[in-house]
Amino acid sequence: MKGPLDGLLVADFSRLLAGPHATMLLGDLGADVVKVEHPEGDVARNWGPPFVGDGSASAYFHSANRNKRSAVIDLRTSEGRATARRLALRADVVIHNFRPGIAEDFGLGYEDLRPENPGLIHCAISGFGPAAGPNSLGNDLLVQAVGGLMSITGTADGGHVKVGFPVVDILTGCYAALGILSAYVERARSGHGQHLEVDLFSSLLGSLAFQAANHLNFGLTGRTLGTEHPGIVPYAAYHAADRDIVIAAASDRQFDALVRAIGKPELASDPRFARNPDRVAHRDILREELERGLMQRPAGDWVPVLLEAGVPAGVVNTIPEAFETAKAAGLIPEVWLTTTDGALVGSAANPIHFGRTPVTYRAASPALGEHTDAVLRELSTQPSDTGNAGQVGPQGNVAADG
């Protein structure tokens, strides 16, 4: 069955994670993604251990590169640049994360391509935006720091920590995919493509939600609170007899149900905890009171009790436990595909579920240059007369990702 983006040709000059995550999403939806790699390959292939199969690519690389074809094109040579240009002129979408000015040096800038491909959607990903200049370097760790995320992530009495996965890269990839799809819809109306910019820094700031609103409207700085929420209590992880349990009682009604369920009904009438602002003001005292009750039983015993009472709750799972919990809930959280060297490689499934045009998993991440010959043969043929593109059924100077 064809995906919703069947027939869309994506020339992917990005590497590492944000751009590849965006193009993997497009590939999952049916797009033909040609991943252009220099002869040494995307550096993320070496970001291990662990490595999959014959060791030529890391699990990290496989997490962001399924449903793609790999073509080795050396942009350091005039022949390589000419080949890359032919691909870009056929494509519906060009995406890259070169430093500002490098795409133009390679003849792959939007204004270089637009006269011959007016329907082109051209997406540039950078660390801090084009105005930061060609010497600007950005990656997930750096942007988590300078973007303020680390200042609100960590325990109240400990040092700052980063989120345990490259959240900024993933957010940026999702924003890039959303921008590309929006431009694709607009092109259907106007017949014109356009250039769009997505940067890691803005993607993080645009995702700070109420933390940004608290700063902009009230001048609040935010601080590390561990698992606690700055404006909702109880909404955190609490100690039970054997392990931590997360409780998200976001309303006065849920708080009342919580304290009754754990055998502490007197807390509901305590004026220190009567309303959420009171509980926020007395969060430390309330934690002590709640944990006195919760420590009487294992976390796994409390979860069904609290859920029955209408209080959102769950144990703090490990990642393996999280996947098993998803399966128990009837979800399909993982996909397994076979690489060209015969290795079976797993990755997290696409979370979008269509009723009519489902996500498809057509191929594992490609071996370096696996499809070079096929892509070059397709580029030697004349473009199709229909649609924007024919069917094509140096990466150094990268500006962003990590």
Instruction: Specify whether 36 is located in the same domain as 158.
Output: yes
In a domain, 229, yes or no: no
The token pair at 190 is: 């106007």
- Burial tier of 394 (Cβ tally within 10 Å: 0-12, 13-18, 19+): middle
In a domain, 181, yes or no: yes
Instruction: Specify whether 100 is located in the same domain as 138.
Output: yes
Instruction: Specify whether 43 is located in the same domain as 138.
Output: yes
CA atoms of 249 and 255, how far apart (whole Å): 5
In a domain, 320, yes or no: no
The domain of 256 spans 244-315
Asked if 260 and 268 count as a contact pair (C-beta separation under 8 A), the reply is yes
Q: Which candidate in 32, 169, 199, 256 is catalytic?
A: 169
Instruction: Specify whether 337 is located in the same domain as 304.
Output: no
The token pair at 117 is: 């491909």
Instruction: Specify whether 155 is located in the same domain as 114.
Output: yes
Q: Calculate mean pLDDT across residues 134-157.
A: 91
Residue where a domain stops, chosen among 286, 315, 344: 315
Portion of the chain with pLDDT greater than 70, in percent: 95
Q: What is the pLDDT of residues 81-107, one digit of tens each?
A: 999 999 999 999 999 999 999 999 999
Instruction: Specify whether 253 is located in the same domain as 369.
Output: no
In a domain, 21, yes or no: yes
Mean residue pLDDT of the chain comes to 94
pLDDT for position 58? 97
The token pair at 188 is: 């259907």
Q: What is the pLDDT of residues 225-271, one digit of tens each?
A: 999 999 999 999 999 999 999 999 999 999 999 999 999 999 999 99
Q: Is the pLDDT of residue 157 over 90?
A: no
Instruction: Specify whether 63 is located in the same domain as 115.
Output: yes
pLDDT for position 401? 59
- In CATH, what number is assigned to the domain containing residue 350? 3.40.50.10540
Instruction: Specify whether 270 is located in the same domain as 153.
Output: no
Q: Which long-range contacts (CB under 8 A, 24 or more apart) does 183-192 make?
A: 183/121, 184/8, 184/92, 184/93, 184/121, 187/119, 187/121, 187/388, 191/118, 191/119, 192/118, 192/119
In a domain, 75, yes or no: yes
Q: Is the pLDDT of residue 284 over 90?
A: yes
| Nearest CA among 371, 347, 245 for reference residue 300 | 245
Q: Is the pLDDT of residue 384 over 70?
A: no
Radius of gyration of the chain (CA): 25
In a domain, 390, yes or no: no
Q: Calculate mean pLDDT across residues 301-321.
A: 97
pLDDT for position 386? 35
In a domain, 3, yes or no: no
pTM of the model as a whole: 0.93
- In CATH, what number is assigned to the domain containing residue 289? 3.30.1540.10
- Total structural domains in the chain? 2
Portion of the chain with pLDDT greater than 90, in percent: 90
Beta bridge partners of 314: 246
Instruction: Specify whether 336 is located in the same domain as 300.
Output: no
Instruction: Specify whether 106 is located in the same domain as 189.
Output: yes
If one counts every other C-beta atom within 10 angstroms of the C-beta of residue 177, the result is 21
* Catalytic-residue membership of 169: yes
Instruction: Specify whether 269 is located in the same domain as 367.
Output: no
Instruction: Specify whether 258 is located in the same domain as 169.
Output: no
Write the DSSP symbol of residue 123.
E
Residue where a domain stops, chosen among 283, 315, 347: 315
Write the DSSP symbol of residue 215.
H
In a domain, 221, yes or no: no
Q: Calculate mean pLDDT across residues 340-349.
A: 96
The answer, yes or no, to whether the previous bond of 358 is cis (omega within 30 of 0) is no
Q: Is the pLDDT of residue 134 over 90?
A: no
CA atoms of 284 and 327, how far apart (whole Å): 36
Asked if 169 and 16 count as a contact pair (C-beta separation under 8 A), the reply is yes
